[in-house]
């Protein structure tokens, strides 16, 4: 008899591996099939943000991942002579809003290795490498997936839900007959990864080289790894561009130090959004659901947000404590959010990819003028990627805080433990309140937040907000009570207990 898994996952790239770790943590029996035996040796993603690190915290792998990661400070847009046009500074400071530096560089094969090894903690998560999904069929009770191994042998498995985390050319998406909305960008870029041991480069800023003759990007990655990206010009052939002499000539214009070229490949940057992300028991996540140009380094981050958004909903539906309608909110929350980020990435791409000399002169002039006005300069400098909140979905209606990602300050508990807030929240719904609370059991942890200088109340659930960040955020959202979802988005912020307890 074929075993019945709670969830079958196709594809174990960064998104599949993250959702498998989340489902493992929830105790869900999960089969992960990955057609490759080895982890993809070529990095694509190179940057992730603070929310992504917070999700790695949720799967208990943040320490290992942080050790393989380096924070950076932001992005410099420079002209062809290297003169600064615009500085976008991620304002990490000593108290980052979500608990982690807002911008981090990493080496993708290393990240994926950590994510894969995290799965070994869960006996109920079965990772099978070298096994490709070929087709699936779903009925009322579940999904049957046909698999083929490296030896050509075919088999079937059955699960309650199927997640297509199988990347840009997703078989699952194609088999569902789901189209991609083209948001209008198909630009080939040459991506070159080098080792540069004697680098004297600024290691804290990505450099967007706004040269109309050849737009380019430089990313100082971890250790001695550096990435260069060059836009292909009309008529240039990918095969010609990856030839070693061509690659060396392009690098020579920018790099004086000796470099070891690890690889050069041409990628076409797209902006695509799957029309539907769910067909009954089957879901699309990550690149299977969306693709975006990497100008803000957000493609993988978006996929990892998909994973966090869906995993807790599936868990609750599988536990029988939420209706299947909760699963509809996956697409209604995530799709518009990704569309907004694609829009922002295209805007950044528009600044960088300007090719007409006249437009480039105008752009440079406007950016210089903006940087010359101190308040505008300060605003631009502190401009973060400003990832928006979620708009419509499973949230309290007409609520200022709902849909926003909860800040994550360092807090101290009454017994003297000091740690990031999430470690006190658990992995289910939680409530944070200021001041006293009714005695009723709301079926979730309730934490009483006190300010940096408040005396300790006689309450074992009190936590001290060390720098007042969360208290200030709650005040700005006119909330004395916050209900937090398992993915750390605020379900609702309330001024009094009436709406929360129904008294």
Ligand X SMILES: Cc1cc2nc3c(=O)[nH]c(=O)nc-3n(C[C@H](O)[C@H](O)[C@H](O)COP(=O)(O)OP(=O)(O)OC[C@H]3O[C@@H](n4cnc5c(N)ncnc54)[C@H](O)[C@@H]3O)c2cc1C
Choose among 40, 69, 47: nearest CA to 57: 69
Indicate the length of the chain as a whole number.
503
**DSSP code per residue over 342-380:** HHHHHHHHHHHT---HHHHHHHHHHHHHHHHSHHHHHHH
Kindly tell me which of 194 and 437 has the beta carbon lying closer to ligand X.
Answer: 194
Size of the site for ligand X (CB under 6 A): 34
Residues numbered 189 to 218 that lie near ligand X (CB under 6 A) are: 191
Interaction between residue 22 and ligand X (CB under 6 A): no
Binding piece for ligand X, criterion CB under 6 A, among 34-42, 137-145, 339-347, 390-398: 34-42
Contact 315, 163 (CB under 8 A): no
CA 468 to chain centre: 27
CB of 53 to ligand X, least distance (A): 12
CB of 464 to ligand X, least distance (A): 34
Kindly tell me which of 35 and 316 has the beta carbon lying closer to ligand X.
Answer: 35
CB of 49 to ligand X, least distance (A): 8
Residues numbered 275 to 314 that lie near ligand X (CB under 6 A) are: 286-287, 294, 297-301, 303
Choose among 403, 419, 411: nearest CA to 483: 403
Residues whose CB falls within 8 Å of the CB of residue 418, separated by 6 or more in sequence, listed in order:
410, 411, 412, 466
Binding piece for ligand X, criterion CB under 6 A, among 33-41, 66-74, 350-358, 450-458: 33-41
- In the numeric block, the tokens 């740690």 are attached to 419
Contact 432, 409 (CB under 8 A): no
Kindly tell me which of 11 and 409 has the beta carbon lying closer to ligand X.
Answer: 11
Q: Which of 84, 124, 267, 461 binds ligand X (CB under 6 A)?
A: 267
Interaction between residue 74 and ligand X (CB under 6 A): no
Q: Which of 47, 54, 225, 335 binds ligand X (CB under 6 A)?
A: 47
CA distance 26 to 60: 12
Alpha-carbon dihedral of residues 105, 106, 108, 110, nearest 10 degrees?
-170
CA distance 343 to 335: 12
One character per residue 424-463, x = contact with ligand X (rule: CB under 6 A): ----------------------------------------
**Adjacent-strand bridge partners of 450:** 464
Show the 3-state SS of 114-175: HHHHHHCCCCCEEEEECEEEEEEEECCCCEEEEEEECCCCEEEEEEEEEEECCCCCCHHHHH
Interaction between residue 45 and ligand X (CB under 6 A): yes
Kindly tell me which of 135 and 501 has the beta carbon lying closer to ligand X.
Answer: 135
- In the numeric block, the tokens 């950016």 are attached to 367
Q: Which of 5, 26, 48, 295 binds ligand X (CB under 6 A)?
A: 48
CB of 41 to ligand X, least distance (A): 11
Kindly tell me which of 133 and 241 has the beta carbon lying closer to ligand X.
Answer: 133
Binding piece for ligand X, criterion CB under 6 A, among 8-16, 178-186, 237-245, 319-327: 8-16
Kindly tell me which of 385 and 471 has the beta carbon lying closer to ligand X.
Answer: 385
Q: Which of 10, 97, 405, 411 binds ligand X (CB under 6 A)?
A: 10
CA 95 to chain centre: 20
Kindly tell me which of 22 and 133 has the beta carbon lying closer to ligand X.
Answer: 133
Interaction between residue 46 and ligand X (CB under 6 A): yes
Residues numbered 115 to 174 that lie near ligand X (CB under 6 A) are: 132-133, 165-167, 171
CB of 391 to ligand X, least distance (A): 21
CA distance 209 to 189: 14
Interaction between residue 14 and ligand X (CB under 6 A): yes
CB of 170 to ligand X, least distance (A): 7
- In the numeric block, the tokens 């594809």 are attached to 11
CB of 343 to ligand X, least distance (A): 16
Q: Which long-range contacts (CB under 8 A, 24 or more apart) does 371-378 make?
A: 371/84, 371/85, 371/86, 371/87
CA 127 to chain centre: 22
Which residues are at the interface with ligand X (CB under 6 A)?
10-16, 33-36, 40, 44-48, 132-133, 165-167, 171, 191, 267, 286-287, 294, 297-301, 303
């Amino acid at each position: 008899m074929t075993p019945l898994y709670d969830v079958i996952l196709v594809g174990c790239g960064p998104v599949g591996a993250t959702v498998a770790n989340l489902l493992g943590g929830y105790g869900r029996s999960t089969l992960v099939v990955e057609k490759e035996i080895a982890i993809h040796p070529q990095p694509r993603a190179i940057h992730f943000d603070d929310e992504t690190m917070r999700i790695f915290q949720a799967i208990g792998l943040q320490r290992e991942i942080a050790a393989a990661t380096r924070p950076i400070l932001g992005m410099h847009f420079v002209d062809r002579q290297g003169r600064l046009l615009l500085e976008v500074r991620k304002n990490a400071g000593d108290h980052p809003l979500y608990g982690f530096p807002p911008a981090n560089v990493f080496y993708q094969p290393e990240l994926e290795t950590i994510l894969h090894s995290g799965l070994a903690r869960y006996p109920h998560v079965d990772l099978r490498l070298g096994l490709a999904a070929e087709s699936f069929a779903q009925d009322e009770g579940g999904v049957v997936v046909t698999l083929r191994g490296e030896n050509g042998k075919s088999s079937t498995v059955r699960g309650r839900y199927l997640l297509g985390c199988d990347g840009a050319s997703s078989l699952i998406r194609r088999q569902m007959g789901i189209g991609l909305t083209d948001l209008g960008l198909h630009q080939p870029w040459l991506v070159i990864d080098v080792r540069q041991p004697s680098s004297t480069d600024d290691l804290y800023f990505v450099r967007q080289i706004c040269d109309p003759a050849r737009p380019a990007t430089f990313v100082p990655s971890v250790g001695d790894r550096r990435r260069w990206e060059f836009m292909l010009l009309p008529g240039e052939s990918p095969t010609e561009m990856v030839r070693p002499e061509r690659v060396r000539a392009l690098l020579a214009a920018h790099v004086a130090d000796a470099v070891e070229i690890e690889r050069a490949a041409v990628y076409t940057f797209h902006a695509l959004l799957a029309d539907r992300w769910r067909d009954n028991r089957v879901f699309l996540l990550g690149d299977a659901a969306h693709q975006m140009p990497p100008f803000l380094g957000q493609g993988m981050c978006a996929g990892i947000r998909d994973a966090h958004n869906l995993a807790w909903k599936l868990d609750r539906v599988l536990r029988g404590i939420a209706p299947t309608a909760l699963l509809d909110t996956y697409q209604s929350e995530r799709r518009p959010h990704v569309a907004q980020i694609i829009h922002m990435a295209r805007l950044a791409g528009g600044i960088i990819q300007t090719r007409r000399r006249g437009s480039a002169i105008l752009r440079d002039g406007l950016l210089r003028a903006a940087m010359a006005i101190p308040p505008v300069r300060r605003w631009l400098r502190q401009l973060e990627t400003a990832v928006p909140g979620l708009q419509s979905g499973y949230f309290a209606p007409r609520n200022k805080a709902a849909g926003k990602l909860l800040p994550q300050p360092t807090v101290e508990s009454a017994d003297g433990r000091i740690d990031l807030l999430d470690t006190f929240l658990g992995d289910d719904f939680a409530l944070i309140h200021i001041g006293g609370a009714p005695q009723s059991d709301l079926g979730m942890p309730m934490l009483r937040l006190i300010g940096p200088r408040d005396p300790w109340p006689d309450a074992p659930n009190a936590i001290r907000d060390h720098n007042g960040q969360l208290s200030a955020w709650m005040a700005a959202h006119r909330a004395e009570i916050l209900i937090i979802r398992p993915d750390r988005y605020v379900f609702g912020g309330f001024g009094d207990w009436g709406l929360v307890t129904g008294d």
